[in-house]
Amino acid sequence: MQKRILIKNHQQEIQLVTRRTMLVVVFIAVLSFCLICRLAYLQIFKHDVYSTLSTKNWLDLVPIEPTRGLIYDRNGVLLAENIPVFSLDVIPVQVQDLPKTLTALKKIVTLNDNDLSQFWKQLKQHRHFDEIPLKMRLTDEEVARFAENQYRFPGVVITARLMRHYPYGASFAHVLGYVGRINAQELDEIDQVNYSASHYIGKLGIEKSYEEELHGKVGYEEVENDASGKPVRVLKQIKGTPGKNIYLTIDSGLQFTAEKALAGHHGAVVAIQPGTGQVLAMVSQPSYDPNMFVLGISQKDYQTLQQSSDQPLFDRALRGLYPFASTIKPYFALEGLDSGVITPEDTIYDPGWFELPNYSHRFHDQNGRGHGTVNVSKAIMVSCDTFFYTLAMKMGIHRMDDILNQFGFGNVTGIDLDDELPGVVASPEWKQNVKGAHWYNGDTVNAGIGQGLMQATPIQLANGVATIASRGQRFIPYLLLGEQAPGKSYVTEQPIALDPIKLRDPHYWDVVISAMQNVVDSPQGTAYRMFGRNYTYTIAAKTGTGQVSKRRNPDEEDKQESMPENLRDHHLFIAFAPVDHPKLALAIITEHSNVAAEAARVIFDYYLGPPQNANRPAQTETKKTTK
């Protein structure tokens, strides 16, 4: 009988199954352990993160733009305000076809090329879930039309906003500046969290210099959304902090008067309070309407302003570089007296010209017949060029530069506005570095009467004559009178004094100031005829004529009206009044026009004269109390 062969090995099969079962159990245990660890990590260590993400599914934090601070003049006159407007805003992430939507919106609201151009620029600079203004300041009719059709435009909303507005338009444009839409460069420089709800920022002037104070701090709303992401209700509001209201040293009445005095002419007026450095008026003519820039000026309008021969965008008060002309003479007289180069009694004979030794060229006096025997007081009064040609050669350029530097020329004044130019106090070193040329004695002679390479800005000229008025006491000119945060007290800005200019003999101040007083009071004075009579205050002044074209003969001064307007001389006038207790220091420059002294008369009459003074708004602090 054949032996039976076993096909199954039960014992071996049991061992195999047991091993596999154990492997499965271990594998499941490992997976379970990993799962438990992961759950523990998510539930314990990442609880805050996922709890926040879960909340975001139905809650939104919506930033609230802070209310921009207002700007007032020293008497509480409102210069920059916020007006309520309705804007048409787009939330790009909620719009399926943006170009198609914009095309359809054109049939409901008026959208010009500038609106669309500004929108596409802003779209590149903001997140797609931000509300981006498409058109500011909708009309009531446009608001009604869109409300009827809003269901057709998901992601497009009407928002109530406050928009900056300048009620006096061009009158304060160069002082206030303006706000405009934030550009890409500014977006990289600002605190993006604080500006998350803001689309505008100060671009120029006070609006830029005090942007941080005016802007305030952003607020937030916690909004509950439905399943489609639409807001249902506001759960909580975190109020922002409105910007501070700021008060300027500007006297709006004086500003309007100065502007009117310059009407029809190009130039600048700067008025300073000598005892503090407060700027009471600062006018640059022609000017422009800053409201054009708030909504976003079109390229065409901007090019029109930029290419205009009147240069309305150019701030002449801070950036206009003009020859000192004869306004430089009081400073050189002070240096000549203080250094002992001359005395008050020293005289020269003026034949109407000056010659350098071994030099055939004659430097003519503005009076071709000459002034005869002249001392320093008469030289200032009649503006004798020959005297100052002589004095310049006696002093030398380094002494001349030194006194100008002491008065702050050649450097920015430090006024709280950007883009001020420093002017030019020329020296041999300056000429070599800038012009690549040597300094000659003729350069020194020309500098003695403020011609040639010497240049100053109107703010520097006003600051300089304010220093003479204060007999050497210097201040940094400034525009911020004070500020007031919401719910807090008004805080006054204090003047910043600089090191005074000290003369060896303080009597020299009286010599020069007395001579400047005779410029207006004496029949021989250069401003006697132009300034007029019957004023009720004492005044010290100096006239100046900045040559634009080269003189063909010494008598050409009297033929200005026959020349093309762009070749006529600039005229300068610096002054302060009253002489004993100065309240107002003034610098005026009129381009190609001889009305500087007449304009000064109008301004001083308004500020100091009894008839006009009666109509001035009284300075009040009532608007500066806690609000």
List the catalytic residues. Answer: 326
Q: What residue has token string 């609000």?
A: 627
Q: Could you write out the three-class secondary structure of 455-518? A: EECHHHHHHHHHHHHCCCCEECCECEEEEECCCCCCEECCCCEECCCCCCCCHHHHHHHHHHHH
- CB 289: neighbour CB atoms within 10 A? 17
Residue 469 neighbours by CB under 8 Å, 6+ apart: 274, 513, 540, 576, 582, 585
Could you tell me if 374 and 389 are in contact, meaning their C-beta atoms sit under 8 angstroms apart? no
Could you tell me if 414 and 479 are in contact, meaning their C-beta atoms sit under 8 angstroms apart? no
Phi (first) and psi of residue 259, to 5 degrees: -65, -40
Could you tell me if 527 and 541 are in contact, meaning their C-beta atoms sit under 8 angstroms apart? yes
Radius of gyration of the chain (CA): 36
Measured CA to CA, the distance from residue 334 to residue 517 in angstroms comes to 15
Burial of residue 546 (CB within 10 Å: 0-12, 13-18, 19+) is buried
Residue 77 neighbours by CB under 8 Å, 6+ apart: 252, 617
Measured CA to CA, the distance from residue 324 to residue 235 in angstroms comes to 65
Measured CA to CA, the distance from residue 572 to residue 328 in angstroms comes to 11
Residue 43 per-residue DSSP state: I
Measured CA to CA, the distance from residue 107 to residue 388 in angstroms comes to 73
Cα(first)–Cα(last) distance of the chain, in Å?
Answer: 122
Residue 588 bridge partners (DSSP) = 269, 573
Measured CA to CA, the distance from residue 565 to residue 592 in angstroms comes to 6
CA 348 to chain centre: 47
3-state secondary structure of 214: helix
Q: Could you write out the three-class secondary structure of 74-96? A: CCCCEEEEEEEEEEEEECHHHCC
